[in-house]
Amino acid sequence: MKVSIKFVLYIIFLLSSNELISSEIVNFRFGSNSDIKRIVLDINEDVTFSNKKFKKKIEIRFDKNVSIKNALKNNEYLNSIELDESKTTLTLNFKNVIHNPNIYFLKKKNNKYSRIVIDYLRKIEKKKVIVIDPGHGGKDSGAVGVRKQLEKHITLAVGRLLKKKIESNGKFDVILTRNRDIFLKLRERTKIAKQSNADIFISLHADYNRNKRTRGISLYTLSEKASDKEAAALARRENKSDFLGNVDLSDETSEVTNILIDLTKRETLNQSSHLVNFLIKEFKNDMNLLQRTHRFAGFAVLKSLDIPSVLIEMGYLSNKHDSKLLTDKSYHNKISDDILNAIVKYFNWIEKNSI
């Protein structure tokens, strides 16, 4: 009789002790397709839980104690899985930021295990926005070539072709600042870039030089002070069409905002330089490049604080060879293909170097 009372008490103790009747997480399983990643927790019995989602972690709070049968092995999704001291809260620490996590439970029924399933997106696919700016237009014809070609027609022709090629890649939205022979102030061009949330801004031009032998492509990024006389003179020429002058920064900025603007600018200039380097790499293979291909000038059209911007002078209308090339379809094709390749490589690089 005594024994059986003890036995009953023992059973009651067993039933009331969470320690001894904890649920067991038997396996962690991982799967993915191109868009969605999935983590499955196999559990020996049905459980109830709540969860909290963070940028790089998920907390699952069980209504009773749990234990983990097999520790997590190295994998590409998670840094660690931690069970807190109370043995009720499981924390999954992810290696990368997770997007739109969806957490749900599948009952055991006829399966071997109950399952907690966590689905999340690798990344949110947003098309990059490229703004292409065909220089000049309307009453502002830009440079006039030795064959009387007008810069404004060349920049528009390449701009349209480039838009077609970049869009066919599928990963980008392309906006032209002008798609017709119209006059646009420089300020309006950067405004279009800002309003369309451009990821990069590329302004297309063709240059001229009193020295008729000067030829080749050159690339410009913004500098507060033009780096040499030539660049400064070019900046003056290209800026001339803007009646409003340079894009002004607010003059009421405090020291702190000035520092912030300076930092943004530096980061943007950095990215602009990377874009230029990718462009030079592409052009190098099959194009004529001006010596010191990458130059710095104070172009108003490049003065967008937070959009990496590059101005491409596609050749010299003052040079016989260049001037022929600049109206040649196959040259337009080549230069557009190179720009597209550079854009793709630039964004791959950006992606690799962001968290």
Q: How far is the CB of 326 from Zn ion (least distance, A)?
A: 12
Which stretch, 9-17, 56-64, 98-106, 140-148, contacts Zn ion (CB under 5 A)?
Answer: 140-148
Torsion of CA 166, 187, 297, 277, to 10 degrees: -20
Closest of 58, 61, 67, 66 to residue 37, by C-alpha: 58
* Part in contact with Zn ion (CB under 5 A); list of ranges 137-145, 266-274, 277-285, 315-323: 137-145
What does the DSSP 8-state code read for residue 15?
H
142 contributes a contact to Zn ion by CB under 5 A? yes
From 134, 135, 137, 159, residue interacting with Zn ion (rule: CB under 5 A): 135
Residue closer to Zn ion by CB (options 39, 142) is 142
Q: Is 134 in the site for Zn ion (CB under 5 A)?
A: no
Minimum distance, C-beta of residue 143 to Zn ion, in the bound complex (Å): 6
- What's 102's DSSP letter? E
178 lies in the site for Zn ion, by CB under 5 A: no
* Contact flags string 69-108 toward Zn ion, x per CB under 5 A: ----------------------------------------
H or E segment at 134?
Answer: strand 128-134
Using CB under 5 A as the binding rule, whether residue 315 contacts Zn ion is answered as no
159 binds Zn ion, rule: CB under 5 A: no
CB 264 within 8 A of CB 209: no
**332 is an interface residue for Zn ion by CB under 5 A:** no
In the complex with Zn ion, the residue whose CB is nearer, 238 or 322, is: 238
CA angle 334, 339, 344 (to 5 degrees): 125
Residue type at position 150:
L
Which of 166/186 has CB closer to Zn ion? 186
Can you read off the two tokens belonging to residue 166? 């970049």
Q: Considering the rule CB under 5 A, would residue 152 count as an interface residue with Zn ion?
A: no
**CA–CA separation, 300 and 107 (whole Å):** 63
Nearer to Zn ion, 24 or 181 (CB): 181
Phi-psi region of 109 (alpha: psi -120 to 50; beta: other; left: phi over 0): left
Q: Report the relative pairing of strands 99-106 and 128-134 from DSSP bridges.
A: unpaired
- Tell me the C-alpha to C-alpha distance, in Å, between residue 88 and each of 25, 43, 66, 80, 146: 12, 14, 6, 16, 80
Size of residue set near Zn ion by CB under 5 A = 4
CB of 205 to Zn ion, least distance (A): 3
Instruction: Pick the closer one to Zn ion by CB: 164 or 236.
Output: 236
Residue 210 beta carbon to Zn ion: minimum distance, rounded to whole angstroms: 16
Nearer to Zn ion by Cβ, of 238 and 338: the residue is 238
Q: Report, in Å, the least distance between residue 203 CB and Zn ion.
A: 8
| Per-residue binder mask for Zn ion (CB under 5 A), 223-252, x = binder | ---------------x--------------
Amino acid identity for residue 249 in this structure: L
CA 207 to chain centre: 31
DSSP letter (8 states) at residue 180: S
Q: How far is the CB of 239 from Zn ion (least distance, A)?
A: 10
Comparing CB distances to Zn ion, the nearer of 142 and 298 is 142
How are strands ordered across the β-sheet holding 23-32?
66-68, 23-32, 36-43, 114-121, 99-106
Closest CB to Zn ion: residue number? 205
The string of DSSP codes covering 285-345 is: HHS-EEEEEEEEE--GGG--TTS-EEEEEEEETTSHHHHHHTT-HHHHHHHHHHHHHHHHH
145 binds Zn ion (CB under 5 A): no
Q: Which is nearer to Zn ion, 39 or 186 (CB)?
A: 186
When asked if residue 205 is in the footprint of Zn ion (CB under 5 A), the reply is: yes
**Shortest spacing between CB 137 and Zn ion, in angstroms:** 10
Residues that bind Zn ion (CB under 5 A): 135, 142, 205, 238
